[in-house]
Amino acid sequence: MGHHLSLFRFFPLVAARDNEPEDRAMSERADTPPDRDLPGTILETPRLVLRRPVRADAQRMADLANDVGVAENLSNLPHPYGLDDALAFIDNTEAGPARWTLGLYLKDEGSRFIGTASLMPRDGERFVLGYWVGRPYWGRGLATEAAQALSDFAFGALEADAVAATSRVTNGASRRVLEKCGFQYAGQGMGPSLFYRGMVPIDRFRLERSIWTSLKNWVKTGVGA
Ligand SMILES: CC(C)(COP(=O)(O)OP(=O)(O)OC[C@H]1O[C@@H](n2cnc3c(N)ncnc32)[C@H](O)[C@@H]1OP(=O)(O)O)[C@@H](O)C(=O)NCCC(=O)NCCS
């Protein structure tokens, strides 16, 4: 595994929710410096800050999400994707206790928004991992870094027994992300696709707590490092 969570910060839920007046103030300031000290940070990895997205991110979110390559691989992303879609999404995000939708912010670029990652209850699973990264940032291990951070969060702070994920059978990159995080193939099925206005074939994956624990211990002993 290339990227491990170096700093694990868990802020009380109330802190994540209490940002709203500040969020509104930020959205009104067009000149918000990109290297602002991000409020409401929930997790931090070597290259990313994970926090609840704010309205000031909406235009950038719309620009990055308005991409067929993103929409066709997600179950419910509207396409085309505009500013109103981003604002509606941001206004409906939750940061706990059951649903976590976090923005990914790249420290190298002054903590600019680059995508999202989430843990949601779905199909009888308590935690289903989802993520997307804007096309300019593909292939740099960033989705893997975010997925590892959220998996650690689920098994650590949220005491998950397992984390599930699905990906379209054609989505080799997402499958690879999950494999790099230790997820195991758990069979095929059909899943909804807003982009295709119907159901599409999907692969199911699961990371069991026992596997996660083994992987973390393996990393600690340095075997294979
Ligand atoms: C899937 C996605 C999140 C990957 O993001 P990313 O930051 O590029 O991912 P990473 O760099 O961490 O890892 C990608 C891995 O997939 C590999 N990969 C890329 N394209 C691939 C393909 N077509 N087939 C197989 N593997 C592929 C990369 O080589 C890399 O593996 P490596 O590190 O072993 O070389 C990104 O492409 C995306 O947002 N796509 C659209 C939305 C989406 O698919 N979300 C997931 C829904 S299940």
Pick the residue whose CA is nearest to atom 17 on ligand 1: 173
pLDDT of residue 34: 38
What's the CA-to-centroid distance between 50 and ligand 1, angstroms? 19
167 lines ligand 1 (CB under 6 A): yes
Eight-class DSSP state of 117:
E
The pLDDT value recorded for residue 110 is: 92
What is the pLDDT at residue 131? 98
pLDDT at 38: 55
In a domain, 122, yes or no: yes
* Residue 176 counted as domain residue: yes
Within a domain: 48: yes
In a domain, 100, yes or no: yes
The span from the CA of 24 to the CA of 9, in Å, is 24
Residue closest to 127 by CA, chosen among 97, 154, 92: 154
131 CB within 6 A, ligand 1: yes
pLDDT score for 36 = 42
**Regions in the chain scoring below 70 on pLDDT:** 1-39, 223-225
Q: Is residue 91 part of a domain?
A: yes
| Residue 225 covered by a domain | no
DSSP string covering 41-90: EEEE-SSEEEE---GGGHHHHHHHH--HHHHTTSSS--SS--HHHHHHHH
Q: What total of structural domains would you count in the chain?
A: 1
Spacing of C-alpha 140 from chain mean position: 15
End-to-end CA distance of the chain: 9
State pLDDT tens for residues 26-69: 333 333 333 345 567 799 999 999 999 999 999 999 999 999 99
> What's the 116 CA to ligand 1 centre distance in angstroms?
14
CATH number, domain at 178?
A: 3.40.630.30
The pLDDT value recorded for residue 222 is: 74
pLDDT, position 40: 76
Q: Which of 108, 122, 128, 132 to mutate to test the pocket of ligand 1 (most atoms within 8 A of CB)?
A: 132
User: Per the domain annotation, does 97 fall within a domain?
Assistant: yes
Tell me the CA–centroid distance for residue 173 and ligand 1, in Å: 3
Domain with 190 in it: 2-220
